[in-house]
Amino acid sequence: MDKPVRSGLRRWVLIVPFIAILDVPVYNRLEPELFGLPFFYWYQLAWILIAALLIFSLHRSERSAEDETR
């Protein structure tokens, strides 16, 4: 049940949302707008989704790696 040895590297993908979110000056702007939402807001809302997808795909790949080792 524990993580397989090879998964260590793969897990670094989860650092991406942290970089995207903690670099505040990059997204502290109004343009371009989306559906009338300033960039500051829709950028961060979009990252909720992207981060969830990253976790989901990491989870899938870790699970299939576990299946192979069985």
Partner 1 sequence: MNVTATIVFVLLFVFVTIVGFLAARWRAADLSHLHEWGLAGRRFGTFVTWFLLGGDLYTAYTFVAVPALIFGGGAIGFFAVPYTIMIYPILYLFFPRLWRLARDGGHITTADIVEGLYHDRWLALAIALTGLLATMPYIALQLIGMAVVIGGLGFHAQGWLADLPLIIAFLILAAFTYTSGLRAPALIAVVKDTLIYLAVFAAIIVVPWELGGFSAIFAKIPAAKLLLPAPPPASTGAFSAYGSLALGSAIALFLYPHSMTAILSSSSGEVIRRNASILPAYSFLLGLLALLGFMAAAWGVDKMPAFHDGFAAFGPNFAIPALFLAAFPSWFVGIAFAAIAIGALVPAAIMSIAAANLFTRNIWKAFVERACPPEREAAIAKFVSLVVKAGALVFIIALPQRYAIELQLLGGVWISQTAPALLLASHCPRLFSGPGLLLGWAAGMAAGTAMAAAQGFQSAVYPLHLAGYTLPGYAALYALALNLAVALVLSPFTHRAGARRGRGGVAAGPLSRARAQSRRGPRPLPVPPPGRRAPRARLSGPAATPPRPRR
DSSP letters for the chain: -PPPTTHHHHGGGGHHHHHHHH-HHHH----S-BTTB-HHHHHHHHHHHHHHHHHHHHHHHHHHHHHHH-
Number of residues that bind partner 1 (CB under 8 A): 38
Nearest approach, Cβ of residue 12 and partner 1 (Å): 10
Residue 61 interacts with partner 1 (CB under 8 A): yes or no: no
How many residues belong to the chain?
A: 70
Q: Which of 5, 9, 41, 64 binds partner 1 (CB under 8 A)?
A: 41
- List interacting residues with partner 1 (CB under 8 A): 1-2, 11, 14-15, 17-18, 21-22, 24-25, 28-30, 33, 35-38, 40-41, 44-45, 47-49, 51-56, 58-59, 62, 66, 69-70
